[in-house]
Amino acid sequence: MPAINNGNFNGFEQQPRPRKSPRFVKKLGWIIPLLLILAVLGMDSFYTLKEDQYAVLTTFGKPTAVSASGLQPKIPLIQQVTKVSKSIQGFPLGYRSGGENVEEESLMITYDYNFVNVDFYVEYRVTDPIKFLYNSQDPIGILKMLCQSYIRDTIGLYDVDSVITTGKSEIQSAIKQKVTDRLEREDIGIQLVNITIQDAEPPTYEVQQAFTAVETAKQSAETAVNNARKYANEVLPAANADADQIIKKAEAYKQSKINEATGQAARFTELYNEYEKYPLITKQRLFYEAMEDILPDMKLFILNEDTNVQTALPLESFAEVTVEGAK
């Protein structure tokens, strides 16, 4: 039986383990940090840019704008990248997203010295990312202050009725033009896309009710005007047709009277010419015709003293009477 030596219960002599070289350990200790540094530098050598983003690449304090999307290279540790959104963004004035009213932003005074709460929503986008980042410390704050200033200035030029009802589009256009012109002078890399009135109402419930009543009355008046115009459009064509018919009848009557007067004038002229030629005969003829018109049923007997011949006028009527007597 083999002897047990140094606690070896398996009956075999335990061999000492070989120790690693200290030089290898030192080399491995340098490689790991180097790999970590290279990994960090590799990750810092590229950046990804989306379609709706600008990138401002700063090299020793000098900025350069990059707008191409995708994977972009950069110098690690030297160049710094700041991303800026290209998309349209916005912020409310006079209220917050949860429906909270901000009275110090919305309460304004109108031209006719009335108070009104007006809420706006401002939309903007960045047009120059370098100017946006470096021409001012807070470009969004500047835009907000400009909008508030020009909103109050413009609202003060209109009466309360225009602000609440009919003048909203005109007010929005005026404010947008003023803010746009001012932003061009400030040159902070922002463009105002739109500014919209979200709500406009009097500050108290009683005044709101009064303005609601006024608006209802205006709508009723507009409805009445439209109904009157509709009725006029229905009645006027018939009235115009009747008027045209009456005018045509009057013109025809006028022409008939003119023709009748012209004929009578021609007849009198003809009679006058005959009278100049044969005045006695014409007088007698006119007398007989007048007597026929005045006394159509009278029989006139003329007795000639020289010949003792009796003549009856009109002869046609006398002849008819004689014939009837004979029968």
pLDDT tens track for 91-140: 999 998 877 888 899 999 999 888 899 999 999 999 999 999 999 999 99
Rounded to two decimals, the pTM is 0.54
Q: What is the pLDDT of residue 75?
A: 78
Q: What is the DSSP string of 209-251?
A: HHHHHHHHHHHHHHHHHHHHHHHHHHHHHHHHHHHHHHHHHHH
Contact status, residue 169 vs residue 126, Cβ threshold 8 Å:
no
Neighbours of 161 (CB within 10 A): 16
Contact status, residue 112 vs residue 160, Cβ threshold 8 Å:
yes
Locate the domains of the chain by residue range. Answer: 32-85, 89-203, 292-326
Rounded to whole angstroms, the Cα distance separating 29 from 22 reads: 11
Rounded to whole angstroms, the Cα distance separating 51 from 227 reads: 55
Element holding 54 (H helix, E strand): strand 53-59
Q: What is the pLDDT of residue 66?
A: 86
Interior angle at CA 210, CA 207 and CA 213, nearest 5? 150
Higher pLDDT, 25 or 203: 203
Rounded to whole angstroms, the Cα distance separating 73 from 44 reads: 9
Phi first, then psi: what are they for 136, rounded to 5°? -155, 155
**Among the CATH numbers 3.30.70.3150, 3.40.50.720, 3.30.479.30, 3.40.50.1370, which is that of 89-203?**
3.30.479.30
Return the closest-CA partner of residue 52 out of 74, 65, 69: 69
* Strand 309-313, strand 300-304: pairing: antiparallel
pLDDT tens track for 210-266: 767 777 887 888 889 999 988 888 888 888 888 888 999 898 998 988 988 888 888
Greatest alpha-carbon pair distance for the chain in Å reads 217
Q: What is the pLDDT of residue 7?
A: 47
Return the closest-CA partner of residue 55 out of 76, 73, 78: 73
pLDDT tens track for 4-56: 444 444 544 455 555 555 565 556 666 666 667 666 665 667 788 888 899 89
Rounded to whole angstroms, the Cα distance separating 28 from 194 reads: 62
